[in-house]
A and B are shown apart, each in its own frame.
Chain A
Amino acid sequence: TETFVGHQVLRIVPSSDEELQKVQELQDLEHLKLDFWLSPRGLGYPVDIRVPFPSLQSVKAHLEASGVPYSIMIEDVQALVDEEEMEMLRSSRQL
């Protein structure tokens, strides 16, 4: 089973064409194994990217070096997945 320990979901809201372009550059870097939950669609629209832990440092460095602001939408994806699994187990037991 795929685990997501240390994976984070970053949110970027491109406010200029340069920022949008920097984000789109990330889409082409397949080795980073980025999962675009929300794809780039235009200025002012959020882009949400699930970043595997091994890629986290380089992605953040890329964004910071380019001056692209970002926020962390989900600090630890695995923690939410674990919580969801616990809920399902509780519900199944009830059933």
Chain B
Amino acid sequence: ALSTTTFNYAAYHTLDEIYSFMDMLVAENPNLVSKLEIGRSTEDRPLYVLKFSTGGTSRPAIWIDTGIHSREWVTQASGVWFAKKIVDDHANNEGVASILETMDIFLEIVTNPDGFAYTQTKNRMWRKTRSHHSGSICVGVDPNRNWDAGFGGPGASGNPCLETYHGPYANSEPEVKSIVDFVKSHGNIKAFVSIHSYSQLLLYPYGYTTTPVPDQQELHEISEKAVAALSSLYGTKYKYGSIITTIYQASGGTIDWTYNQGIKYSFTFELRDTGLYGFLLPAKQIIPTAEETWLGLKVIMEHARDNMY
């Protein structure tokens, strides 16, 4: 694409096309967007995070990641659309522009690049990382079971050949460890949203225990507002609640760890659909999915901005 204006957001793209999109966005918006490399994947691919900032130092920040499960293609595609939306809102002084006056936004679009490349070359249904651990006859760890929050407990598998294999130890996956290190070193992230598909759910901690989080009521109220905003666009129906009560027990999950790190506004989205196409959502649904999700994300980001802690 010649520019992020001519880029085709209504299509799925290769890893290289997404990387070049990022470079174009940075080049077009040098005073707002920068590209950080927070680590390298198992197969030594860069782990890029886009930073959107209007200045200041170590401002309170919002983190959004997509694509941690590589086959959930609508999430990386939505992440690309989110990146452009942030830039456009800032240029038009609308939407999240007001958030950027006091907060930074970090967006990791391809959180599992090895898995993503593998879905495009070898196995479209690949979900995990591509790590090889001694003693494992199978490849890959579920990056959403590898965090140090109830790690290894019920709701993950110790079998390296299963899709929910938690890995040999917490943070064994560089894709996970890089985010852990970034969150710890930044130290001022106030909202953390990890985006998956499918099922149309908005979830908050915990997944590894039935114990409600101390902020359960507030997170539930935010979820209700976010889902109402999301559904207002196309009527897409979402359910919401804690991970363990809404779907199932899942240990070693991303937002359980981020919540336990003190990031109160920790959420997971499960995007479209509810089971017609599943992971094979047609490309024509990318933009409507991204648009409606953005309305839900905005509720969470505005709440974080207005309820600083």
Contact = CB atoms under 8 A, between A and B. Distances in A.
Interface of A: 1-2, 4, 9, 11, 30, 35-42, 45-46, 48, 50, 73-74, 77, 80-81, 83-84, 87-88, 90-92, 94-95
26 contacts: A1-B121, A2-B122, A2-B123, A37-B279, A38-B275, A39-B164, A39-B248, A41-B247, A42-B248, A45-B247, A46-B275, A74-B277, A77-B280, A81-B124, A81-B280, A84-B12, A84-B282, A88-B12, A90-B11, A91-B8, A91-B12, A91-B13, A92-B14, A92-B17, A95-B1, A95-B17
Interface string B154-166: 0000000101100
Contacts of A83: 282
B213 interface: no
A36 B163 contact: yes
A41 B276 CA distance: 19
B278 interface: yes
A74 B125 contact: no
Contacts, number: 72
B199 interface: yes
B91 interface: no
Contact of A84 (B1, B8, B248, B283): B283
B275 A87 contact: no
A11 B276 CA distance: 10
A72 to B, nearest CB: 11
Nearest to A11: B275
A11 B275 CA distance: 8
Q: What does DSSP make chain A's interface, helix, strand, loop or mixed? A: mixed
Interface string B282-300: 1100000000000000000
B193 to A, nearest CB: 21
A73 B278 contact: yes
B14 A2 contact: no
B12 A41 contact: no
Interface residues of B, number: 29
Interface of B: 1, 7-8, 11-14, 17, 121-125, 161, 163-164, 198-199, 247-248, 274-280, 282-283
Given A37-B278, A39-B248, A80-B280, 19 more contacts: A1-B123, A2-B124, A4-B124, A35-B125, A40-B248, A42-B248, A50-B125, A74-B277, A77-B280, A81-B280, A84-B12, A84-B280, A87-B12, A87-B283, A91-B11, A91-B283, A92-B17, A94-B8, A95-B8
Top 9 nearest A-B pairs (CB, nearest first) are A91-B11, A41-B248, A2-B123, A80-B280, A87-B283, A91-B8, A81-B124, A37-B278, A95-B1
B277 A87 contact: no
A39 to B, nearest CB: 6
Contacts of B279: 37
A95 B11 CA distance: 11
Given A30-B161, A36-B163, A73 B123 contact: no
A68 B19 CA distance: 46
Contacts of A90: 11
Nearest to A85: B124
A92 to B, nearest CB: 7
Nearest to B121: A1
Nearest to B122: A1
A91 B1 CA distance: 10
Choose among A36, A39, A91 the residue with the greatest number of B CB atoms under 10 Å from its CB: A91
Nearest to A2: B123
Contact of B14 (A45, A48, A81, A88): A88
A63 B276 CA distance: 21
Contacts of B276: 73
Choose among A50, A81, A83, A88 the residue with the greatest number of B CB atoms under 10 Å from its CB: A88
Contacts of B278: 9, 37-38, 48, 73-74
